[in-house]
Amino acid sequence: MRITDRWQTGKPTISFELFPARTPEAAEKLDRVLDDLAALRPDFVSVTFGAGGSTRDGSRQLLDRLHNAMGLEVIAYFAGYGLSPADITAVLDSYRDLGIDNFLLVRGDPPREEGFQPHPDSFPHASDLVAFVRPRYPECLGVAGYPEGHPQAPSKEKDLEFLKLKVELGAEYIITNYCYDNRHFFDFTARCRAAGITVPILPGVMPIYSVKMMEMLAGICGATLPTPLCQRLAALPEGDKAALQAFGIDYAACQCAELLHAGVPGIHLYTMDRSEAAVGIVNRLRGEGLLLRTEGAPADNQG
How do residues 198-244 score in pLDDT, each as one tens digit? 999 999 999 999 999 999 999 999 999 999 999 999 999 999 999 99
pLDDT at 302: 35
* Helix, strand, coil tally for the chain in percent (to 5): 45, 15, 40
In a domain, 300, yes or no: no
Across the range 33-38, mean pLDDT stands at 98
Given a cut of 90, whether residue 294 has pLDDT beyond it is no
pLDDT at 158: 96
pLDDT digits (tens, 9 = 90+) for 79-133: 998 999 999 999 999 999 999 999 999 998 877 777 778 899 999 999 999 999 9
106: CATH: 3.20.20.220
Find out whether 283 and 27 touch, Cβ atoms under 8 Å. Answer: no
pLDDT digits (tens, 9 = 90+) for 38-78: 999 999 999 999 877 778 899 999 999 999 999 999 999 99
In a domain, 112, yes or no: yes
Q: What is the CA angle 257-196-100, rounded to 5?
A: 65
190: left (phi over 0), alpha (psi -120 to 50) or beta: alpha
Given a cut of 70, whether residue 288 has pLDDT beyond it is yes
Is residue 25 part of the annotated active site? The answer reads no
In a domain, 303, yes or no: no
Find out whether 1 and 101 touch, Cβ atoms under 8 Å. Answer: yes
DSSP secondary structure code for residue 144 in this structure? E
pLDDT at 296: 40
pLDDT at 202: 98
Integer Cα distance of 52 and 249 in angstroms? 33
Find out whether 252 and 205 touch, Cβ atoms under 8 Å. Answer: yes
Across the range 171-192, mean pLDDT stands at 98
| Sheet of strand 140-145: strand arrangement | 201-202, 173-176, 140-145, 102-106, 74-79, 44-47, 13-18, 266-270, 204-205
pLDDT at 141: 98
The boundaries of the domain holding residue 177 are 3-294
Number of domains the chain contains: 1
Reported confidence tier of residue 293, pLDDT bands at 50, 70, 90 = low
In a domain, 301, yes or no: no
Find out whether 122 and 131 touch, Cβ atoms under 8 Å. Answer: no
DSSP secondary structure code for residue 303 in this structure? -
pLDDT at 303: 33
pLDDT digits (tens, 9 = 90+) for 166-175: 999 999 999 9
Reported confidence tier of residue 297, pLDDT bands at 50, 70, 90 = very low
What count of other Cβ atoms lies within 10 Å of the Cβ of residue 56?
18
Across the range 32-43, mean pLDDT stands at 97
In a domain, 53, yes or no: yes
Please state at what angle helix 227-234 crosses helix 241-261, rounded to 10 degrees.
150
Give the active site residue among 17, 25, 215, 295.
Answer: 17
In a domain, 59, yes or no: yes
16: left (phi over 0), alpha (psi -120 to 50) or beta: beta
